[in-house]
Amino acid sequence: MGFNLKSFGIGIAAVYAAAYALKSTMVKLKYFSTSEFGVWWPFLADKLLYGLDAFRDALGVPVRISPASGAIGRTGKDAENSQHYLLDDGKLKAIDVLIPENIDLSHAYNIAKSLGIFTGIGVYPDWKPSHGLHLDTREDKTADNPATWSGLETADGQVYRDVSEGFV
């Protein structure tokens, strides 16, 4: 007989609700509300959240969390190598954001890089409804030498190239 939450009268929904509420009292963001992160809120790494807030502040204009499926968290075997996947430490370390069209994507990238927080930055000039960035706090890179790339749409689907190709 193993440990069973139900034997304590606690359901998974109650545990999740408690985690959601606890994180909401501990992590205070200036520009984002918990509802923008949906069900993923309790699982997002604090460093990523504070970095996202710092990015928004430095950019000087609102950014949106991408509404695309998988822009925050991903599940399933195909997602296991993604920073959007719930890692062994129980934290998500990546988020995709949409940048207003009137803000140059290279400018947004340079701001994200200059903050010294993000260890992975991808540029996506072809996202809809506006271009965007993937921001992450992966542990196998440093903010001084982050993983960088561009994701470009082609007739054959999305391809990954050097970050500079995303600014053309």
- Whether residue 124 contacts residue 150, with contact meaning beta carbons closer than 8 Å, is answered with yes
State what percent of residues in the chain have pLDDT above 70: 94
Tokens at 70, concatenated: 């998988």
pTM of the full structure: 0.90
What is the torsional sign of CA 45, 46, 48, 49?
positive
**pLDDT category of residue 1 using cuts at 50, 70 and 90:** very low
Stated as kind and residue range, the H or E segment containing 158 is strand 157-161
| Structural domain spans, the chain | 30-167
- The set of residues, in sequence order, having a beta carbon less than 8 Å from that of 87 and lying 6+ positions away, is 93
Under DSSP, the state recorded for 23 is: H
Whether 92 and 47 have beta carbons less than 8 Å apart is answered as: no
134-155 tens-digit pLDDT: 999 999 999 999 999 999 999 9
The CATH number of 30-167 is which of 3.40.630, 3.30.1380, 1.20.58, 3.40.50? 3.30.1380
